[in-house]
Amino acid sequence: MAEGDSIVRMARRIEAAFGEREILGAEAPNPRSPLVRTASRLVGHRLARTETRGKHLLLHFSPELVLHAHMGMNGGWYVYGPGQRWRRPRRSAWLVIDLGDLEVVEFGGPTLRLVRPVELSRDPRLARLGPDILGGPEEVAKACANVAAVGTVELGEALLNQRLVAGIGNIFKSEACFEAGIDPWGAVGAFERGQIDRVLGIAADQMARGVETGRRPGRVYRKSGGPCPRCGGRISSRGQGDDNRTTYWCPACQS
């Protein structure tokens, strides 16, 4: 699943694939792609830079052309060399960028659009994004203040609220709370400020490691029913918040 760490890694992979290459062809094989009529506008461009904001990926091609993508639960980017086997059928791709010796491919997700930068600044989803968990100590400090301010909201739900802190998804929500020994079901206001700072600091560290190594902690996420690596008790899981996103936790050592 695409959380902030994997978005940054994806941006790096895409940057490496592009290098100085010029786009020789661009098409949207899937008729449901939002780029069916506009993909060809990419032809002739080179990638100027990539940018990530939480779970949003921005590919800047020129001062007037930006590709804005959000992978959601099911979207994904891939880079394929000649003869390499694709993980999903070409006809289902939303975007195929031909770089000559490489193809950069995107499948699905809630957002894929070509816009001018001025439209980005008007995008309410981007405008509402909170500080980026991978944005460094100052951003993390702002995120802590934001989360600490929503007293009645359950911690697990607050951590997923991209207006409070951008980039954390279901995996790091669960793993950071476990590492901190904090109950994700507790209302934010029931914790001391130091605990809020601790859980967000841990999430930032875990995700920064994820950026560099591609690995995630994996101690409770999707380990429901299995033994807790700390106390040996049974790991629980249950949907949390308005979107019913599954939280994994150890009731014995996170209370």
Q: Which is nearer to Zn ion, 139 or 179 (CB)?
A: 179
233 Cβ neighbours under 8 A, 6+ residues apart: 227, 250, 251, 252, 253
Q: How far from 186 is each of 162, 190, 236, CA to CA, in Å?
A: 19, 7, 15
Smallest distance from Zn ion to CB 153, Å: 24
Q: Which is nearer to Zn ion, 18 or 185 (CB)?
A: 185
Locus of tokens 């899937």: 30
CB 240 within 8 A of CB 184: yes
Torsions phi, psi for 178 (to 5 deg): -65, -50
Amino acid, single-letter form, for residue 7: I
Smallest distance from Zn ion to CB 159, Å: 19
Helix axes 193-213, 137-148, angle to 10 degrees: 140
Smallest distance from Zn ion to CB 189, Å: 24
Smallest distance from Zn ion to CB 177, Å: 12
Q: Which is nearer to Zn ion, 33 or 247 (CB)?
A: 247
Contacting positions for Zn ion (CB under 5 A): 228, 230-231, 233, 250, 252-253
62 Cβ neighbours under 8 A, 6+ residues apart: 45, 48
- Which of 75, 73, 26, 66 has the alpha carbon at shortest distance from 47? 66
Q: For residues 174 and 107, what is the distance between their CA atoms, to the nearest angstrom?
A: 27
Smallest distance from Zn ion to CB 235, Å: 8
Q: Which is nearer to Zn ion, 103 or 183 (CB)?
A: 183
Q: Which is nearer to Zn ion, 36 or 253 (CB)?
A: 253
Q: Which is nearer to Zn ion, 154 or 179 (CB)?
A: 179
Q: Which is nearer to Zn ion, 18 or 248 (CB)?
A: 248
84: number of Cβ within 10 Å: 11
Smallest distance from Zn ion to CB 179, Å: 12
Q: For residues 30 and 35, what is the distance between their CA atoms, to the nearest angstrom?
A: 9
* DSSP category for residue 42: G
CB 203 within 8 A of CB 133: yes
Smallest distance from Zn ion to CB 236, Å: 10
